[in-house]
Structure 1
Amino acid sequence: MRIERHQVDAERVAQAGEGFVDRIGRQVHSYSRAGLMTTTEWQLITDSYLDYLGALSTTRPALDCPEAEAVLKDAAEAAAGAVSFAAYYPRDRFSVFLDYPNFGMSYDPEYGQDRDPRHRVTAGEWLDAFCLAIVADKVSPHGEAFSWARQLMPDEPLTPALELVDGFVAHFFEEEADFPATSPASQPGLRALRALADADRGAFDAALLALLQDGHHGRGPASLLPLVPIALAALAYRTHGWSPAVDTDYLPHALVTGFETPGPRVRGLGRDPRPDAVARLAAGPVDLDRPVPARPLSADSAARFERRTLEALTPKEGEPLDAWELTGALRYQGYLLSARASQSADATDALLAHLRLGSQLGAAVFRVALAEPGTEAEVTIDGRRLRFPALRDRDFGPAFWETALSYALVTGSPEDLEPLVLAGPAIAAEDRSPFASYRTALHDHLRGADPLPATERALKEVERAGDRSFLPPPVVLFSQLVRGDETSFNLALLDALEAHRDHHRVADRATDPGAPLSLHILGLACHARRSRGWAVHVRSPYLPPRLLQAAGRARGGGGEPVAAS
């Protein structure tokens, strides 16, 4: 059976979609500057996200794109923020963070204040927020807030909305005996929940159909996404594997399935890869596109970055060279590298030059860090022999070490890799990042120690980090490398590159400097070619063929590494 969606206001759809990236940023920052952000502000933010999501669904009804996933996640977080404010403020500490505009708000207890009854949530608001939490898989982290917010609702007659609230509370948080009594005359939402608990698919399909046939009203784009039916369909699919029996764009496939997509997924050790993905990779290279616009690079900009790099290598009269300046020089080469990479699907001579120079700059920093205090370190950069006073600056910390290491793994220069292996990631500063174990594992692998203990910790760190606005390091890819599994390495490589691509499809991230190329992933791919002789079965601008070919020649003794070519 097919149910078509109702008509909405085309002008409101256009307004919801136009300039959303900038508009949502202005909205949340405006509210934060105007005073305390309460349930009202978080609900208004939620409404903006839902209107945008509805507008997206008019051109992509399945909502199967990274942009929709990011918007849904923030809509659920903002709605849970309203519920958390009602549940906790001013008694308890809590926080709300939106990845899309990179905005967060923390609340501390305000002793001596009482809860403001104006900031309670209604049954309808609670339902919308809880349905979003179901679809975005965020019930667990916010479950306590939803339970408290329900208890704090004002006493009122048992409306259909409140009855469904109690049904969700019983289904998720209480004993089956607490579930409201149901009958054929009960509202369809409650009957659907009862059918889910009883695993009665026939009753569930009938109740969901009744919900969708009730009629949907509203002229705004958010009305195209009825949250209760979507949440119930999502529960049915994720609990019992039931796909909706009704064909309708009111139930976007991605929202129901949790953005489930076919293809390889190697999220951690011990999971068997999909046979069809293995076959695709075994049959030949799998093509992966790079939807990143070419970054403009004027002659003046390129000359300015090169001039600043040269200044870091040129001593000022009467002053010694400063290794700290090399960190800026590497950053300038990164800007140039990003622009050159975005303009070509393969490595040009100019891009190779940036990689070689970047590799030498990173190595020089750690040669200086290894030098004894009071002495000088001699380094060679771009054919120049230079001397730098010994220095261990906090800017030579673990993140910079990882970047320098990626350059060295891409170029394959043993001379550049040596000081990085001798120094290790924490020579200048303790690694307090959530992914410290990954860098430890990298270092252990390269220095010949057993990398598996640190790798196991790193996999757990990535799992604990969950969904963040930043990309985690390619830990799973590395884990397959150190375990010597070429097939799983290629599966994980495709997975890591897809994650990188999808991350930069959200909001305005396509303009990030790291969008055209992930040096961390590319470095591991080149290292696998060079150190193990593995074939790479992914063909993509993210993996410039010239670099992989050079790595393969270095393994076979047929050529020099990129750094010396």
Structure 2
Amino acid sequence: MVTTVPRHEYSTDDVPDTLNALGETANWILDEFADSPVLRPQALSTALTLAQQHCAVDPQAVKFETWEAWVTAMQTGSALFAAASAPEGTSVTCRIKERERTLPATGPESHLNAGAWVTSFYLAMICRDNDRLRLLAEVPVSLLRDSGAVFDEYIYSWVEALQSFWLGRQDVGEKLVAAVDGTAPEALRYADADLMSKILYPPLILLYRVIRRDPAQFNKALADALRWHKAYWTADEERSAGADGLIALGPLAMACLARDQGITVEVESEYLPKALLEYAWIGEIEY
């Protein structure tokens, strides 16, 4: 039985103009960010916002422009971490939006933190890019800690759990338990409790259900995750007006993983665009 979780209302009156302006900004940043310490921190967030905004008027992500925006966001995040991980004094060549870009090795930077890594990993899962997933899985957690960004300890265990899962390590269960334990209210020092319970925590349980190969419980947890996502992004007018809430990024990534692992996804929602979930653009875009 399919469960449907409708997306919250979102005004699309200004979206065409927003897409034009945001697209121009994103293209400019991507053309210049390789050698610009000022633009690099804006690259991933701008590319992701553009991808999310496309889904405002293309909720099932059936248009080529929407696919391209999601792939571009994935390529951008992966390129930033490839440059951060490269040996000092070297450079890396990365394909972004059909162009080869050369980025100098940067080492740790404040915007290349654990939160940005998780976002980049989710994007690579959605885009089914196994090569970039492997490279991200090999990014040292110490590099993320050295960014100087402040996070609760749970996120580093979550990074390690995702890395262990992807690389087939035996400690994935141990790391996942540590991450879940770290989301408890008494363990939090920095994260907002509402954000944690409704947005950050659900992907951990979804990965657990994938590992356990439990379709019924996975789909129940996925539906719950989308309901919590909706509750969080409609809690006030400012949140509901933002493009950030249009896609449930973590649950979408886990749903893509589950589907690829043979679990039938029985939840439908604009928060999980069908074309992204089903990898509809396979063969259309060269990564």
TM range (shorter): 0.7 to 0.9
Could you list the runs of 5+ residues in structure 1 that have no partner in the other structure? 1-283, 552-558
Structure 2 residue aligned with 1:435: 154
Counterpart of 2:29 in structure 1 is 312
Return the offset for 1:524. 0.9
State the partner residue of 1:293. 10
The Cα of 1:400 is off from its aligned counterpart by: 0.5
- Using the TM superposition, give the Cα deviation of residue 424 of structure 1 relative to its aligned residue in structure 2, in angstroms: 4.5
Per the alignment, residue 268 of structure 1 pairs with none
Report the CA distance between 1:456 and its aligned residue.
Answer: 1.0
Partner Cα separation in structure 2 for residue 309 and residue 293 of structure 1: 23
Is it true that 1:356 corresponds to 2:80 in the alignment? Answer: no
- The separation in 2 between residues aligned to 1:504 and 1:315, in whole angstroms, is 33
Check conservation: 2:213, 2:263, Cα contact below 8 A. no
- Structure 2 equivalent of residue 514 of structure 1: 244
Structure 1 pair 458–292 and aligned structure 2 pair: CA distance change class (3 A)? farther
Query: Aligned partners of 1:323, 1:409: CA distance in 2, in Å?
Result: 27
Select the residue among 372, 389, 404 that pairs with 2:104. Answer: 389
Secondary structure in structure 1 of the residue aligned to 2:193 = coil
Name which of 456, 462, 469 aligns with 2:194. Answer: 469
| Alpha-carbon shift at residue 455 of structure 1 (Å) | 1.0
Mind listing any 5+ residue stretches in structure 2 that lack a counterpart? none
Say whether the 8 Å CA contact 1:341–1:516 is kept in structure 2: yes
Separation (CA, whole Å) in 2 of partners of 1:534 and 1:426: 34
Residue 545 of structure 1, aligned match among 274, 277, 282: 274
Contact 1:500 1:518 in 2 (8 A): yes
Shift of 1:444: 1.3
Percent identity, aligned pairs only, is 22
Q: Distance in 2 between matches of 1:482 and 1:327?
A: 34
Paired with 1:371 and 1:322, the residues of 2 have a C-alpha distance of: 17
Note the aligned Cα RMSD (angstroms).
Answer: 2.6
User: CA–CA distance in 1 between the matches of 2:79 and 2:141?
Assistant: 15
- For residue 184 of structure 2, give the secondary structure of its aligned residue in structure 1: helix
> 8 Å contact 2:225–2:251 — kept in the other structure?
yes
What does 1:84-483 correspond to in 2, within 5 Å? 284-315=1-32, 321-322=35-36, 325-349=39-63, 350-392=65-107, 393-430=109-146, 432-436=151-155, 437-449=157-169, 450-464=171-185, 468-470=193-195, 471-474=199-202, 475-483=204-212
Residue identity in the other structure for 2:55: A
Give the aligned length.
271
Taking a change above 3 Å as real, the CA distance of residues 491 and 333 of structure 1, as seen in their structure-2 partners, is same
Amino acid at match of 1:375: T
- State the AA in 2 paired with 1:549: E
**What is the CA-CA distance between 1:303 and the residue it aligns to?**
3.0
- CA distance in structure 2 between the aligned counterparts of 1:498 and 1:299, rounded to whole angstroms: 28
- With normalisation by structure 2, the TM-score equals 0.84
Please identify, of 322-331 and 470-479, the stretch whose mean Cα deviation from structure 2 is larger: 322-331
Go from structure 1 to structure 2 and tell me whether the alpha carbon gap of 1:300 and 1:415 turns closer, same or farther (over 3 Å shift): same
Separation of aligned partners in 1, 2:43 and 2:27: 8
CA distance in 2, matches of 1:561, 1:296: 33
Q: Relative contact order, CA 8 A, sep 6+: which one is greater? A: 2
8 Å CA contact 1:323, 1:368 repeated in 2:
no
Per the alignment, in what secondary structure is the counterpart of residue 337 of structure 1?
helix
